[in-house]
Structure 1
Amino acid sequence: MSLHQSSGRWRLGLALSLLTVFLWGILPVALKVTLQALDVYTVIWFRFLASFVLLAVYLGVRGQLPKLEQLRSVSGKLLAIATLFLAANYFLFMQGLALTSPANAEVLIQLAVLLLGLGGLVIFQERYTLYQWLGVSVLTCGYLVFFHDQLTNLITAQNTYLLGSGFVVLGAVAWAVYALAQKQLLQSLSSANIMLIIYGGCALLFTPLAKTEAIFTLNRLHLGTLVFCAFNTLIAYGAFAESLEHWEASKVSAVLALAPIFTLISVELISVVIPSLIPTEDITLIGITGALLVVCGSVAIALGKSN
């Protein structure tokens, strides 16, 4: 079986990767602001519905909508697993974000990368190099340092911080299951067709829980952040997919591991420019060191793949 070869236009691949990591890095901040005016279910429903409609229009214009014979060859169980666990990931991450902070949520969700890699080892019989196992060790140490610093928030936030962090960790587990299921589904459908079906299924799941009338009462700020969150998924995933056409997957993954850094920077900038919009992160130098170790560990795992 022939393998995909990148185009070699690494500058374009780097630019697209940076666009993706920027969008994913600031997404928790936009979601945090949106949650000031809307409930979790409505935000998730709107994101999935908007993604489904826009992707359906795009694929329809290009004549790439899934055909009936293609759908018949797809495993219904795997598709259901991917849909349910991506829906769970969105819900758990949003609940955790509502109870903690953008930087905390973005650092903890990096656990998904580690779990996806470990799932690949068990299910797809992949292998880690020594360099990658060292990356796992660094990432684990980073989590311990980061958590040790952030647990001081329990004094003022009682159990809210711990509960929110637990939601995000469960969200990372759910995302890893979804990603492993999608990887297997790629044998039958393209990634765009898979996402179209999953977006539609997730939108249906959250429809009974969404308060659609609340969207029409939003002010310009919260409506703008809601629309941004909806477009963020499509643009970020589109840039990510295109970056893989021009640059090696391991290097793209290493760049994406920088998302927590973008989150920290964006929170600090917003708290300085508009302090009333979002509170500053209560992270000490020790916590920042832990976050950097998580990033370095993720980069090492991504770049340590053998040829």
Structure 2
Amino acid sequence: MNNSLAIEATGLRKSYGDKLVLDGIDLRIPAGTIFSLLGPNGAGKTTAVQILSTYIGADAGEARIAGHDLATEPDSVRAAIGVTGQFSAVDGLLTGEENLVLMAKLCHLGKRAGRRRASDLLEQFDLVEAGKKMVATYSGGMRRRLDLAMTLVGSARIIFLDEPTTGLDPRSRHTMWEIIRGLVAEGVTIFLTTQYLEEADELADRVAVLDHGKLVAEGTPAELKRRIPGSHVQLRFADSARLDLAARTFGGAARDDNALTLQVPSDGGVRSLRALLDRIDDDSIEVDELTVHTPDLDDVFFALTGHPSTDSNPSKERETAR
């Protein structure tokens, strides 16, 4: 295995009865990066996480996690990873500190080392004051931070986050994003599944789209967006005379006489934008407002899967085969 890869998988397959959930997927995820797996409900995202985190076995294929063979060294894999699901796994009848100390015992840390680790994590996740309170009194964002902290008790270098911010308010989501970025800055690798496409766009170094058990696309968010047509520059004018002049200059551009706008096809790049501005100056066109429009990951998702994203109403993936 390439030592720079945190996760390397080839030909992973999984079926439940006659339902094929994963159809031979390949993954190569560099260490210290954020990889996001997107896909509609039932696409196989959760199954992929369950296989890579040793929860279930694959029917075929092979993988190495943190340099360890998934099939023959599962204990070594478990020692290197942490897993945080959509729903918090903390005990509401214990305090935050007690949850962390309990996890430290399960990780075979000594009593003193366990309490020191719990104290460090409470500080890292801004839970020092809350650490003495019962988790049942925590807000959703606090519970999610504690849940993620618990995956780090054993100093995991690879963390699987299965829809970690579902149900959180925008402020709590942004707090989680900052925590995730901080972990990656320390060298941790993040495997993220999410139904918030904005989240993948904001965080991920690379994104893969899974549909019907197959990876249908992979690349940086910018690379995936460039695959989708529809980029344009919208020009807005003060009156119809200026709109007419611009329409003659940019023949074929789509115009909206009611809104006094013109949509000029463009890839959104600096070079094409500079050329557009030069033509505007050369023809002395007065523009009130210029806006660059490029496809977002929602457009990519729909184009590749035929399904709209579920950003507006995210729900836990329920694999139909399970």
- Normalising by structure 1, report the TM-score: 0.26
Answer 1 or 2: which has greater strand percent: 2
Answer 1 or 2: which has greater helix percent: 1
- Normalising by structure 2, report the TM-score: 0.25
**RCO higher in structure (CA 8 A, sep ≥6):** 1
